[in-house]
């Protein structure tokens, strides 16, 4: 009888051990959080073949690739403020590139601060928040940026040109035969690798945030990455025209690019200029991809990969001549849709998640994956259900905005209203992504779309009213 009781007890102990080993979530895993500036989902893992991105593709093959994830606002400072606080932008909050959380949302607990408060060592390297010292209390040590000059040019003549420009802009691209760590991002990765080596022996779990600037303008990357592409094979955007029936409010003069000294103040770019800009963007993405590979390889070498969640994301999308525009700052899908990849130890690999998600969902997702109580202010939902269940749905409509434009996006449609200061809708557009994925024809006035327009307009009004009451 005694032996029978012992055997039963051993059975339950063994069952607990087996369950623990097979559990999909660790209690307090580390987090490696990688933000890539201006990265659009034009990668092999997203079905595009023109850009060389083997390391990002490999991460996707070992994790979850979100194909329908959008940012809340397509400009770096505001986008980061939104997903790092977990709250939506409004007409008066998180509006432009220079957004600061401490100004727009004082007192709100940020993602790193939440992890720090729960016993994590939190480190920031490179551009995580748009401003280096924004919300600095959320980090265990002072946020680190490399000491670089202006826009990180290496050529003497470009540095001199930039020094005479009040925005420190020189030419829109630069080709230099140099090493990976000569530019800003190489220095950030070197620092991050050193941090991983220190953190390996840390008793606390860590949250390491790494901000990579490329492929943000100017397109600067070591020459070897430019040489990986044949200039004659670079293709221009297939739709370099304003969409049919598009409201004038939806198109802009891409002022960010216009500020570079080799770009005309107005008018269409020449095909030669467009081609070299696309070439530069591709080279910068491949450069960033190599650095990301170096960082993840060090994570593996240190045997931290099986105890670390890896998140890789762009802060928003990017225009490369689509609809005649360059840069971001608009409500078209090319600016709103961006890459999101999450690798979680002991969970499925190589899974493509087609269900809708938005960047607001990252904060609650990481909280749940790390067994942390979610703050009450979060406006997103956890994506863990999408990771665990093939048929799960967490939301049917996503919301983004930029200046006067407010967008509601479903699996099929992208609907935008442009609203003036008095709250009046002055124009609108609707694109059917099933039949027109490149958004070339505004179908908002077609009779068969009347019901969907009314439904999405009502949802935008609800979001508008909810924001007024916050």
**pLDDT value of residue 26:** 60
- Spatial separation of the C-alpha atoms in residues 324 and 254, rounded to whole Å: 9
> Which entry of 45, 114, 130, 279 is annotated as an active-site residue?
130
Known active-site residue 370: no
- Spatial separation of the C-alpha atoms in residues 136 and 142, rounded to whole Å: 7
From 134, 280, 290, 127, select the one nearest 213 (Cα to Cα): 127
pLDDT tens, position by position, 401-448: 999 999 999 999 999 999 999 999 999 999 999 999 999 999 999 999
Answer whether 355's CB lies under 8 Å from 386's CB: yes
What are the domain boundaries of the chain? 27-394
Report the DSSP pairing between strands 219-222 and 173-176: parallel
- Spatial separation of the C-alpha atoms in residues 163 and 161, rounded to whole Å: 5
> Which entry of 45, 71, 76, 327 is annotated as an active-site residue?
76
Count Cβ atoms below 10 Å from residue 421 Cβ, excluding itself: 7
pTM above 0.95, yes or no: no
From 343, 328, 345, select the one nearest 292 (Cα to Cα): 343
pLDDT tens, position by position, 196-233: 999 999 999 999 999 999 999 999 999 999 999 999 99
**pLDDT value of residue 469:** 62
Known active-site residue 130: yes
Top-level CATH class of 27-394?
Answer: alpha beta
Low-confidence spans in the chain with pLDDT less than 50: 1-24
Answer whether 358's CB lies under 8 Å from 340's CB: no
Three-state secondary structure string covering the chain: CHHHHHHHHHHHHHHHHHHHHHCCCCCCCEEEEEEECCCCCCCHHHCCCCCCCHHHHHHHHCCEEECCEECCCCCHHHHHHHHHHCCCCCCCCCCCCCCCHHHHCCCCCCHHHHHHHCCCEEEEEECCCCCCCCCHHHCCCCCECCCCCCCCCCCHHHHHHHHCCCCCCCCCEEEECCCHHHCHHHHHHHHHHHHHHHHCCCCCCEEEEEEECCCCCCEEEEHHHHCCCCHHHCCCCCCCCCCECCCHHHCCCCHHHHCCCCCCCCCCCCHHHHHHHHHHHHHHHHHHHHHHHHHHHHHHHCCCHHHEEEEEEECCCCEECHHHCEECCCCCHHHHECCEEEECCCCCCCEEECCCEEHHHHHHHHHHHCCCCCCCCCCCCCCHHHHHCCCCCCCCCEEEEECCEEEEECCCEEEEEEECCCCCEEEEEEEECCCCCCCCECCCCCHHHHHHHHHHHHHHHHHHHHHHCC
């Amino acid at each position: 009888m005694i032996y029978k009781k012992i055997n039963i007890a051993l059975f339950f102990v063994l069952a607990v051990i087996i369950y623990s080993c097979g559990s999909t979530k660790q209690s307090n895993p580390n987090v490696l959080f990688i933000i890539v500036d201006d990265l659009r989902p034009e990668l092999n893992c997203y079905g595009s073949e023109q850009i060389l991105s083997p390391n990002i593709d490999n991460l996707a093959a070992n994790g979850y690739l979100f194909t329908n994830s959008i940012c809340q606002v397509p400009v770096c400072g505001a986008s980061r403020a939104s997903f790092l606080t977990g709250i939506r932008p409004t007409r008066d909050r998180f509006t432009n590139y220079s957004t600061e959380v401490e100004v727009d949302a004082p007192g709100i607990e940020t993602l790193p601060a939440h992890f720090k408060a729960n016993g994590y060592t939190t480190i920031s390297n490179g551009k995580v928040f748009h401003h280096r010292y924004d919300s600095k209390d959320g980090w265990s040590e002072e946020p680190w940026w490399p000491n670089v000059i202006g826009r990180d040019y290496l050529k003497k003549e470009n540095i001199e040109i930039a020094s005479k420009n009040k925005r420190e802009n020189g030419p829109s691209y630069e080709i230099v035969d140099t090493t990976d760590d000569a530019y800003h991002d190489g220095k950030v990765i070197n620092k991050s690798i050193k941090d991983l080596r220190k953190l390996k022996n840390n008793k606390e779990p860590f949250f390491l945030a790494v901000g990579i600037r490329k492929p943000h303008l100017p397109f600067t990357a070591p020459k070897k990455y430019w040489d990986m592409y044949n200039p004659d094979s670079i293709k221009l955007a297939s739709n370099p025209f304003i969409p049919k029936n598009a409201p004038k409010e939806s198109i802009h003069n891409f002022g960010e690019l216009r500020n570079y000294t080799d770009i005309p103040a107005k008018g269409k770019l020449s095909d030669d200029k467009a081609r070299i800009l696309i070439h530069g963007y591709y080279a910068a993405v491949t450069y960033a991809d190599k650095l990301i590979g170096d960082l993840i390889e060090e994570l593996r070498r240190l045997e931290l990969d099986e105890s670390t969640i890896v998140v890789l994301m762009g802060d928003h999308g990017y225009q490369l001549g689509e609809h005649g525009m360059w840069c971001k700052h608009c409500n078209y899908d090319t600016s709103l849709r961006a890459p999101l990849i999450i690798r979680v130890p002991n969970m499925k690999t190589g899974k493509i998640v087609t269900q809708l998600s938005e960047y607001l969902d990252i904060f609650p997702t990481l909280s749940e994956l790390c067994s942390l109580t979610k703050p009450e202010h979060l406006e997103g939902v956890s994506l863990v259900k999408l990771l665990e269940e093939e048929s799960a749905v967490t939301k049917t409509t996503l919301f983004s905005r930029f200046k006067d434009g407010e967008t509601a996006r479903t699996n099929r449609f992208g609907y935008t209203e442009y609203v003036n200061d008095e709250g009046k809708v002055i124009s609108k557009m609707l694109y059917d992504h099933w039949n027109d994925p490149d958004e070339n024809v505004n179908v908002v006035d077609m009779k068969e779309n009347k019901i969907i327009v009314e439904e999405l307009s009502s949802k935008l009004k609800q979001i508008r009213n909810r924001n007024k009451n916050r």
